[in-house]
A = this chain, B = another copy of it.
Amino acid sequence: MPKNILIVGGVALGPKAACRCKRLAPDAAVTVIDENRYISYGGCGIPYYVSGEVNSLDDLRATPYHTVRDPEFFRTMKDVTVRTQTRALSIDRAAKKLLVRDLVSGQEENLPYDKLLLATGARPRIPPVEGRDLEGVFSLTRLEAAETIRTACRNGAVSKAVIVGGGFIGLEAAVALADMWGVKVSVVEMADHLLPGALSPDLARMAGHDCQSHGVDVFTSEKVVRILGKDGAVCGVTTEKRKLLCELVIFAAGFIPNSDLAREAGLKVTSFGAVPVDEHMRTSDADIYAGGDCASIKNIITGQDGYLPLGSMANRQGRVIGTNLVGGSATFPGYVGTWAVKLFDLSFCGAGLTVESAKKAAFDAIGVSVEQLDRAHFYPEKSMMGLSLVVDRKDGRVLGIQGAGPDGDTLKARVDAVAGLLQYAKPSVADISNLEVGYAPPFAAAMDIVNAVANVTENVLAGRFQPVTADAFMDMWINRTKNGVFFIDARPAAAGKAVEAKQPDWHSIPLEEIGARIAEVPKDKPVALICNTGLRAYDGVLVLARNGVKNVVNAMGGMQALKKMGLNPV
């Protein structure tokens, strides 16, 4: 049984592993080193502190029982030694010693270890642009920054802000500033859509529309080139395309794993700078473990080394490592990439690969989307959810799922159900068609949307109809004079006629009437069909096919998807 356990990093994974060690082996000497003053805080809560939804910074440092997790707490309650403001300088692997420096006294010291854990986390990726050190330029990883930003908002010192990066943290910050403080926010994202890597462009368009319709400007495919200052404080940002005035800049452009300590000690480090670990969370040195934001674990779907810096991953890995540090043999299976984010009117969730990330990993991937109510259609409370299933065309293997909807909890329920299968099974489309999610009218439809999206996917894979994303449908509509496409709105007449009245090229032919009115549909032109949610259009395709009209595409998610994207045929 190891006597001396040394842990570098005291935010999420380090303390978790430390406590687990002590529970299993009360006699072990466990020491946590951290170079900062605050330890063991919920960094994921920072946007909610900025917004004011979380009252006090202590709430982010407290247990659910309102005890603040400071060094004294760990000493008296957990028998764990915590040394803050102490920097780990280097590892002597042969002698099994860690050289540390007390940042207050400047004194250096060699600490012996039997097992060492690197929980060094990650630092925000800040592009090397001029002005990045100006006052008013922040990242959202430190409690101190959160405090400063919130105070500035409360004092009315921030009327305009620029957020660099349209990922999870960037958008959470945008919501916090715009929704709660009325700040005019611009999000600048280098990629061609928001939440790159997490969402496909069509779903990202819904996220963009949700931001824009709440006053947040979104600039994609655009890079910040300079931060502008006046008297040492930020006063604006220039991108490749424009100048944005602001009093606050937040960098939320991803993370760089803190792996210098590992690299300098000769441990393996991936090309993207993280420390790869095996399924026991062990580095290339059997006495050194790593986990959380500094480590690389296996992507279960692609089988490749990957990176998922999330507090929940750190917590779960911390328990596994804690077990192993004191001689246990727990394993961590890797990750599939499950996430959730709440924006303004919509929430977004996903698990596994997007079409784009699946193609990068050499899968022959397609994505199929539907919109459907999240409960029985006759139940009074309900909302319209969109789900998109990503599958391998070759064998129908499910690679990922993403979705959007006003009710984040019901959306997350569907995504989490598939996430578990991605983690522990290799689900096929048929497995999701038959997925036994709980049913009662207040909670789900008898044919739940998670089953329905798989059913539609099966029909697409079998070539029974040809889907297009709602935004691609819209592009066809806009270019209708060039492409000569004939448009059919298969919704009930009242809905379709309202559009037709303004746009004569928009043909309202309700599903029930297609057969009888088939003479109105040209046989020599491509046809594009839309209904309310995409579920009904399949029947329309069948009726058209029976009548010899076979060159038909079908808008996935229908008018509901268009609406969430802010697109309108009128």
Contact = CB atoms under 8 A, between A and B. Distances in A.
Interface of A: 12, 16, 23, 26, 42, 44-45, 48, 53-54, 59-60, 62-67, 76-77, 168, 172, 310-316, 319-320, 330-333, 335-336, 338-342, 347, 349-351, 372-373, 376-380, 407-410, 412-421, 423-425, 427, 430-431, 433-444, 446-448, 451, 455, 464, 491-492, 511-512, 515, 532-533, 535-536, 538-539, 542, 546
How often does this chain occur in the complex, in copies?
2
Contacts of A532: 65
A269 to B, nearest CB: 24
Nearest to A48: B441
A66 B492 contact: yes
A448 B333 CA distance: 17
B420 A512 contact: no
A412 B443 contact: yes
Given A44-B446, A409-B410, 12 more contacts: A23-B538, A26-B542, A48-B378, A48-B379, A54-B378, A54-B379, A312-B436, A312-B437, A340-B443, A417-B417, A424-B424, A424-B427
A76 B44 contact: no
Residue among A420, A423, A439, A546 facing the most chain B CB atoms (10 A cut-off): A420
Contact of A440 (B67, B168, B379, B515): B168
A319 B65 contact: no
A425 B376 CA distance: 28
Given A67-B512, A412-B443, A425-B424, A434 B380 contact: no
A418 to B, nearest CB: 7
Contacts of A418: 420
Nearest to A448: B312
Nearest to A428: B424
Given A48-B379, A379-B48, A409 B447 contact: no
A315 B445 CA distance: 10
A332 B77 CA distance: 52
Contacts of A45: 376, 378-379, 441
Contact of A64 (B330, B377, B414): B377
18 contacts: A23-B538, A44-B441, A65-B532, A76-B512, A316-B434, A340-B442, A342-B440, A342-B442, A407-B409, A408-B442, A412-B443, A412-B444, A413-B417, A417-B420, A419-B436, A421-B424, A421-B425, A423-B435
Contact of A412 (B312, B413, B424, B435): B413
Contact of A341 (B332, B440, B546): B440
A85 to B, nearest CB: 25
A115 B64 CA distance: 60
B412 A42 contact: no
Contacts of A350: 438
A418 B423 CA distance: 12
A319 B412 contact: no
B65 A492 contact: yes
Contacts of A443: 340, 342, 347, 408-409, 412
Contacts of A347: 442-443
A347 B536 CA distance: 32
Nearest to A533: B64
A315 B44 contact: no
Contacts of A53: 379-380
Query: Which are the 6 A-B pairs with shortest beta-carbon distances?
Result: A312-B439, A413-B413, A340-B438, A64-B377, A409-B409, A59-B378
Given A316-B434, A439-B312, A65 B425 contact: no
Contact of A431 (B172, B416, B424, B437): B424
Contacts of A425: 421, 424-425
